[in-house]
Structure 1
Amino acid sequence: MSEPAMIAEEMTIGQLSERSGVPTSALRFYERQGLISSRRTTGNQRRYHRSTLRRVAFVRASQSVGMPLSVIGGVLGFLPEGVPPTREFWIKASACWSEEINTRIEKMERMRDRFTECVGCGCLSFEQCALVNPGDALAEHGPGPRRLLNP
């Protein structure tokens, strides 16, 4: 009977990319953003601890629900270096994001409901804009789509 193959504790960027399904360019970007880290060999090559796979999975899952990398990084900042995210960590992160997610949902619902009407951006390009926002009166409240930004 042969012995089981040893699982390496570290991976190259190519191996991490292959295992995670994330392009190497994105992994380098994540590292520059402080979301993941590596050590450098004497030949200046990156080596990632196996636990980085879970960090990358956490980042991708978080992005898939619309979390910006800055918010993801803030949450990962609570995780000690080299410690992979656990189920308990994911539950705590989700709880932290509930307000952010609800705010995003509200904005999306406003956009859905008002997309065919004047959003108060000052463009006055729709016929309805002249009726709903005559003379660009919403400009007094600041730049941008005022009716989408402020309910």
Structure 2
Amino acid sequence: MPRHTASAQDTQLSVGQLASRSGVAVTALHFYETKGLIHSSRNTGNQRRYPRATLRRVAVIKMAQRLGIPLAEIATALATLPSDHTPTAQDWQRLSARWREDLSRRIDEMVMLRDQLDGCIGCGCLSLKECPLRNRQDHLADAGPGPHPPGHPEAT
């Protein structure tokens, strides 16, 4: 029985195949490509072809988006992953460690918001100036009313 070896065609996916297998719309895949998150080559018919490893990259993108990670940060993280093969468990551990601290900080902030929400609704202060939820840790209050530019000395 002849042994089947994978050809380049077997390891490449069309944009439709990638969309179907990843559950991501073709338009989203095109958008990811314009942002440099995924990469394709073109076949002789000028159709996009994606390496099979792109399936894992798309899964990482979708998971990171669910965590609220901005696309620019996702792109920076993906740039550290191998582009010629599916990321390994070690690659994923390294990548996820980068996001763990930010995610923990945001969870802590959400818990604090949740715990203060009942008091805010019932307090009746209606003060944007003094509200601990709306104007938490107001470092700029002493700088006077109105907006202050980024990098203002009081902003830190």
- Distance (Å, rounded) in 2 between the aligned partners of 1:31 and 1:115: 41
How many residues end up aligned between the 2 structures?
Answer: 135
User: Pick from 114, 117, 124: which aligns with 2:116?
Assistant: 114
Q: Which runs of 4+ in 1 moved over 3 A?
A: 1-7
One-letter identity of the residue aligned with 1:40 = R
Give ranges in structure 2 of 5+ residues lacking alignment. 148-156
Structure having the larger proportion of residues in helix: 1
1:93 equivalent to 2:95? Answer: yes
User: Pick from 52, 59, 62: which aligns with 2:61?
Assistant: 59
One-letter identity of the residue aligned with 2:124 = E
Please name the residue that 1:25 is paired with: 27
1:40–1:104 Cα change, 3 Å:
same
Give ranges in structure 1 of 5+ residues lacking alignment. 119-125, 144-151
CA RMSD of aligned residues (A): 3.2
1:133 equivalent to 2:152? Answer: no
- Distance (Å, rounded) in 2 between the aligned partners of 1:78 and 1:63: 18
Please name the residue that 1:103 is paired with: 105
8 Å Cα contact 1:58-1:85 kept in structure 2:
no
Please name the residue that 1:83 is paired with: 85
1:84 counterpart SS class: coil
- Distance (Å, rounded) in 2 between the aligned partners of 1:41 and 1:131: 58
8 Å Cα contact 1:52-1:82 kept in structure 2:
no
Q: What is the CA deviation profile of residues 59-89 of structure 1, one whole-angstrom value per residue up to 9, with x for unaligned ones?
A: 1222233322222211111123223222111
